Chains A and B, each alone.
Chain A
Amino acid sequence: MSLLQTGIDALLALGLVWLAWRALACPDLFRGIVLFIAFGLLMALAWVRLEAPDVALAEAAIGAGLTGALLLAALARLNRIAPAGTRADTREAWRNAPALLLVLAGAGLGLAVLSLLPEPAGLQAQVAAELGRSGVSNPVTAVLLNFRGYDTLLEVLVLLLALLAAWSLEAEPPRREAAPGPVLDLLLRLLLPVLVLAAAYLLWAGAHAPGGAFQAGAVLGAAGVLALLAGWRLQPHLTGLPLRLAIVIGPGGFLLVAWALLLTGRPLLEYPPALAGALILLIETLATLSIAATLAVLFQGSRPAAEPPA
């Protein structure tokens, strides 16, 4: 059994490196992106093998799914802007490689990792000791939303910042694409309630099992991406203030909670143990909405038009 597991681990590790190599080396960019998505799915398997199911969920939904969708959408737009440009990379590529430098860097990193391996000094004990006062029983959620809540606050702000920057650039005027046909539309009508339910479950389960705001937000965002692909658009009266509210309510709610806690004389984001569970659920619910809206809007690539294009 142990031999089998070691074999799977070795195969998975080699497969990751091989897929990454092919994604970077294959001449066709489209194939490169597809290989990168496959790489992300193998990464999710690797996280399962490393006993990190929370990370596996986030990797499958965000690392493989949404990043892949963003890359493919950008490639399609690139083909429209510069049809010849997408294959221009193969001639210049893989030349004048600073090979020696990279071999040295790899050897140095490898030695450092090997020297650190025998004794991984973790924080398991400290987290387990404080878990009872954190308001949740999933240690990863406790670290994300309680012990290191300021990391997560800055993270949702980074997501908002990326969207603001993308909107202010206005890379391409929004275009109306032809609806891809009735099959996707029908599939979406069946899938959408399931995706919303799955997101709600992931959000609720995050308190005691693998899941949480980011995984739930990514699943909900994926539903939004599917809807955009099927040609669904927000009603014009929803693209103004309501959409912007959905985007800022996560970071805004998080900041309000942090500010209210400061007013009560507590350090930044140190919840009273009695209220911790409820506050974490509140922050996670608002963050899920904002993450989903932000990811879907980032996929669309341009600011949704307030007026429907004629």
Chain B
Amino acid sequence: MSAAGFYALAGVALVVLGLYGLAVQAHLLRKLLAVNILGSGVFLVLVGLGGPADAGPDPVPHAMVITGIVVAVSATALGLVLMLKLTTTSGRPTLEDDAPREGPEA
């Protein structure tokens, strides 16, 4: 298998890890980490599949990934501000559907 193949498969593993973290982690900052890792996995698959062939690397996925990196940092910055706002309002950096449990926790 070519080098690009390794990275494309690592990208698949990162996508799965990111999905897992996004689904399971309660803390919103950890969810943002998971989204970033998921995105990195997508980028690796994208470039790995168009990887160095005989004609040289394909510049189109490279340009798309650079665009993606900038969009990811914009979204992360906005997500962090939203998380801080939510924590200021609710006191917890998590999203919980159920009613908050009262009383001291063990």
| Interface status of A179 (Cβ within 8 A of chain B) | no
| Total A-B residue contacts, Cβ distance less than 8 Å | 279
Per-residue contact bits, chain A 1-25, to B (CB 8 Å; 1 contact, 0 not): 0000110011011101100110110
Nearest CB of chain B from residue A195's CB, rounded to whole Å: 18
Per-residue contact bits, chain B 87-98, to A (CB 8 Å; 1 contact, 0 not): 110011110000
Would you call B62 and A140 a contact (CB within 8 A)? Answer: yes
Nearest CB of chain B from residue A156's CB, rounded to whole Å: 8
Nearest CB of chain B from residue A291's CB, rounded to whole Å: 8
Using Cβ atoms and an 8 Å threshold, which residues of chain B touch A142? 59
Using Cβ atoms and an 8 Å threshold, which residues of chain A touch B88? 81, 171-172
Tell me whether A39 and B92 are in contact in the complex, defined as CB-CB below 8 angstroms, given that A74-B29, A124-B57, A162-B77 are known contacts: no
Main secondary structure of the interface of B (DSSP, over half): helix
Using Cβ atoms and an 8 Å threshold, which residues of chain A touch B14? 16-17, 20
Nearest CB of chain A from residue B21's CB, rounded to whole Å: 4
- Total interface residues on A, CB under 8 Å, equals 94
- Total interface residues on B, CB under 8 Å, equals 78
Tell me whether A55 and B65 are in contact in the complex, defined as CB-CB below 8 angstroms, given that A74-B80, A109-B15, A124-B56 are known contacts: yes
| Interface status of A283 (Cβ within 8 A of chain B) | no
Partner of B40, one of A24, A43, A51, A74: A43
| Interface status of A166 (Cβ within 8 A of chain B) | yes
- Point out residues on A near B: beta carbons under 8 Å: 5-6, 9-10, 12-14, 16-17, 20-21, 23-24, 29, 32-33, 36, 39-40, 43, 46-47, 49-52, 54-55, 58-59, 62-63, 66-67, 70-71, 74-75, 77-78, 81-82, 85-86, 88-89, 92-98, 102, 105-106, 109-110, 113-114, 116-117, 120, 122-125, 127-128, 139-140, 142-144, 148, 151-152, 155, 158-159, 161-163, 165-166, 169, 171-172, 212, 214, 291, 295, 298, 301
